[in-house]
A and B are shown apart, each in its own frame.
Chain A
Amino acid sequence: DSGVTQTPKHLITATGQRVTLRCSPRSGDLSVYWYQQSLDQGLQFLIQYYNGEERAKGNILERFSAQQFPDLHSELNLSSLELGDSALYFCASSVGEGESAGNTIYFGEGSWLTVV
């Protein structure tokens, strides 16, 4: 158990809909990262939050957005869903700063999204 909790584990929704994926980082971790894993693109970094603020952006579509709340949990919002958005979405967390920052990055079990 990595200590990173993601919900839901599986989600099936229709094109054009909006979904929210939730992530609770490991206790003490201030940074949260979102990744997308699809068959054609592999694992891609989407976005990072550190202590409530956006820290870095990767290949995140404009239809997608995220936020990190004061209790450090994070949500990834996916809207106007398309078939191609079907993927496994991971949340990862790390301490964020200090000696062990950047060398321990743990992933949650992922949220399987299927768009039909």
Chain B
Amino acid sequence: AQKITQTQPGMFVQEKEAVTLDCTYDTSDPSYGLFWYKQPSSGEMIFLIYQGSYDQQNATEGRYSLNFQKARKSANLVISASQLGDSAMYFCAMREGPRYSGAGSYQLTFGKGTKLSVIP
């Protein structure tokens, strides 16, 4: 089974509107972390936001917020007030395992991504 599922291969949003990118995950580990990354056409992978499984509040970073619904195993990214520069691929990723395991291995499992296009 896929550990990270992004069901929207492509999305369009009007400039200045908000958009939600979907991500569902599958893990039996009680301790995990969820990440969103942005990959513009130039190729670099830009860290946007992180949510830990034990975090009580949804993560926010500027115009990015993560709608974390633990029971539904979803971690949707919300981008408010979309800008033309937001056009990119967006990847959801998961790290399984405790944060405080000493020198742990925090490898990420990625979804297939969603291509977001912002329309002027």
Question: CB within 8 Å of B: which residues of A?
Answer: 2, 30-31, 33, 35, 42-43, 45, 48, 50-51, 55-56, 58, 88, 90, 92, 94, 96-97, 99, 101-110, 112
Contact = CB atoms under 8 A, between A and B. Distances in A.
A103 B33 contact: yes
B76 to A, nearest CB: 19
Given A2-B44, A45-B107, A51-B103, 4 more contacts: A35-B108, A97-B104, A101-B100, A110-B44
Interface residues of B, number: 29
Interface string B48-69: 0010100000000000000000
6 contacts: A2-B44, A33-B106, A42-B113, A58-B107, A88-B43, A101-B99
A92 B105 CA distance: 12
A42 B4 CA distance: 12
B46 interface: yes
Interface of B: 33, 35, 37, 42-47, 50, 52, 91, 93, 95, 97-100, 102-110, 112-113
Nearest to B95: A102
Given A42-B112, A45-B108, A109 B103 contact: no
A37 to B, nearest CB: 8
B103 A97 contact: yes
A97 B102 contact: yes
A11 to B, nearest CB: 13
Contacts of B35: 105
Contacts of A48: 105-107
B104 A104 contact: no
B102 A102 contact: no
